[in-house]
Homo-oligomer: A and B are copies of this chain.
Amino acid sequence: MEDKYNNELKKIFRADQLTNDVSALIVYSRDLNPLGTIFMQEGKTMPMPDIVVWPETIEQIQKLVVFANEHKVPLIPYGSGSGVCGGANPVGGGIIVDMKRMNRIRHIDPYSLVAEVESGIIGELFERELNAKGYTLGHFPSSIWCSTVGGWLAARSAGQLSSRYGKIEDMVLGIEAVMPDGDVLKTKVTPRSATGPDFKQLLVGSEGTLGIITSATLRINRYPESRRFNGIMFHTVKDALDAIRELMQTGIKPAAVRLYDEIDTFMIGSGKGSKKLLSSEQEDEHIEDLKKVIMKKAERMVLTIPSVVNSVIKLLPANNLLILTFEGTPRMTEAEQDIAVKIMNAHGGKDLGEEPGKYWWEHRYDVSFNLSPIYSIKAFADTIEVATTWDKLLLLYEKMRNAIGKHALVMAHFSHVYQEGGSIYFTFAASTYDEKKKEALYRQTWKDALDTAVSVGATISHHHGIGMLKAQWMDKEHGKAMEIYRQLKKVVDPNNIMNPGKMGL
């Protein structure tokens, strides 16, 4: 960016609020989408921003937006960079708008149980502040240490206790954003209303394409008086899904409901804490078989011949671990747990007691930090989260597992469930003998996976968002609604300054 831009920006921001230092620009050239890492391994760089700014007030953002419109410069809102779809990548250069200095909790209302918070606050810090006052947001994405409230809203985040507390879009009662023309949009805070379309739900999920979210008013909850845990082992994914469906359709609201398929069950049990997760009796011979097979085909060998490994795994008798947790008043969690365990038993689930659930609770954020080591062995890993109604969920699981399994070692868990269906979270890892084909393999795996999701009728993302990674599927996802989105984008942001090149717009 030319120096005169820099000088103009210095009229808006103090010197410590902006930088064009090249190391910063490299850091801000990417989010956690694995393509960024693959590119780095190949010595390629990603498009860099021209400058990074850290606004501290709404007024500064408004001035920045006016500046950006004048000079047709892209603005890329940035939370904590933990997105995995390239949503915060500055694909056409421009200005990274790092929101982390707008991190105040403006207001906690103990009477209505709502909190107004600025979008740049790190999730865990917000949660701790609430906990100290006796509340919880109830939103626990595994990225909670490295993601912001604004990022959650922009990409429709889900937390691990979504069955009880909902996704972030279910918690938002009011939103504030600087729009592409520099005006502030602030919706009325109300439990519900019947005054036209829900404009909150236009900004939520828009990943910075329609405006910069500056704050939100969120529902909070009393910190639960009691918390109960269960681990239930099922022989088949189908049995487990039947039991979960039955549970959710009774109208009970467990906090966490997470079903790991056999290889995912093995993986979460294979670390240093495996003894806690599964006692030696519970870790029966099937699991041992599975462990031996995977160990034998260790590291690159496993990952380069995924179809062999996946086939072998399928031949093994399986075990699938379901984690259930319950939160609330003691009377209610007792009743819920009792009903839940009866339903699980009726579907062939074996109650392992509270230890697996407690272990999961203590290690619930680890997954966000477990994928990096894969890269040190020159392989790559990623996650794909899709969702559909119960009638298609098992079919989706099988078809996508096959589609991904052609290219990669694949495991899955069912992480968010509802009365009408649920989401599947696939983790895959792969590599190639030919380093140069890594990107192609990565892209092909995604293509086969999402084409399959579309063919089954599932949504292509449950809680990670779209960014660049899934942009090409947006027309298939939305059909006519995508045209409305493009029309709206054009009229609201005629200079296309707001996070251009994303979402298939």
Contacts and interface: CB of A to CB of B under 8 A. Distances in A.
Interface of A: 109, 111-114, 155-158, 164, 167, 169, 173, 179, 183-199, 201-207, 210, 219, 221-222, 245, 249-253, 328-329, 331-332, 335-336, 338-339, 387-391, 416, 418-423, 457-466, 470, 474, 477-481, 483-485, 487-488, 490-492, 503
A423 B184 CA distance: 27
Contacts of A173: 389, 420
A331 B466 CA distance: 42
A332 B329 contact: no
A194 B156 contact: yes
Given A189-B389, A190-B458, A203 B197 contact: yes
A419 B221 contact: yes
A491 B494 CA distance: 13
A484 B492 contact: yes
Contacts of A179: 480, 484
Given A173-B420, A251-B332, A331-B338, 14 more contacts: A112-B420, A113-B390, A114-B389, A179-B480, A188-B457, A191-B388, A195-B466, A195-B477, A196-B478, A198-B204, A219-B420, A251-B328, A252-B332, A331-B339
B194 A329 contact: no
Given A389-B109, A484-B492, A463 B422 contact: no
Given A184-B480, A198-B198, A331-B335, A388 B204 contact: no
B198 A169 contact: yes
Best-surrounded residue of A196, A419, A464 (most CB of chain B within 10 A)? A196
A197 B183 contact: no
Given A109-B391, A203-B197, A252-B332, A185 B420 contact: no
A418 B484 CA distance: 32
A222 B247 CA distance: 12
Contacts of A416: 191-192
A192 B167 contact: yes
B391 A111 contact: yes
A481 B193 contact: no
A238 to B, nearest CB: 13
B459 A250 contact: no
A479 B174 CA distance: 13
Contacts of A465: 194-195
Best-surrounded residue of A112, A210, A388, A490 (most CB of chain B within 10 A)? A112
A474 B169 CA distance: 24
Contact of A185 (B113, B189, B479): B479
A492 B487 contact: yes
Given A113-B249, A250-B329, A421 B197 contact: no
Nearest 8 CB-CB pairings of A with B: A156-B194, A193-B459, A112-B389, A199-B481, A198-B201, A185-B480, A191-B418, A190-B459
Contacts of A191: 387-389, 416, 418, 420-423
A207 to B, nearest CB: 7
A419 B113 contact: yes
Nearest to A169: B198
A255 to B, nearest CB: 10
Contacts of A479: 185-186
A421 B470 CA distance: 38
Contacts of A466: 194-196
A195 B484 contact: no
30 contacts: A109-B389, A111-B389, A112-B421, A113-B249, A113-B419, A156-B193, A157-B194, A169-B198, A184-B480, A188-B459, A190-B389, A191-B389, A191-B418, A191-B422, A192-B463, A194-B205, A194-B464, A195-B459, A195-B470, A195-B477, A196-B474, A196-B485, A197-B206, A198-B201, A201-B201, A219-B419, A222-B250, A250-B329, A251-B332, A253-B253
A281 B109 CA distance: 41
Nearest to A199: B481
A488 B178 CA distance: 18
Given A196-B466, A420-B112, A491-B491, A190 B387 contact: yes
Contact of A194 (B335, B388, B420, B462): B462
Contacts of A109: 389, 391
A465 B195 CA distance: 6
A88 to B, nearest CB: 15
Contacts of A186: 479-480
Contacts of A470: 195
Contact of A339 (B192, B329, B492, B503): B329
Nearest to A336: B332
B201 A462 contact: no
A113 B422 CA distance: 13
Best-surrounded residue of A157, A184, A491 (most CB of chain B within 10 A)? A491
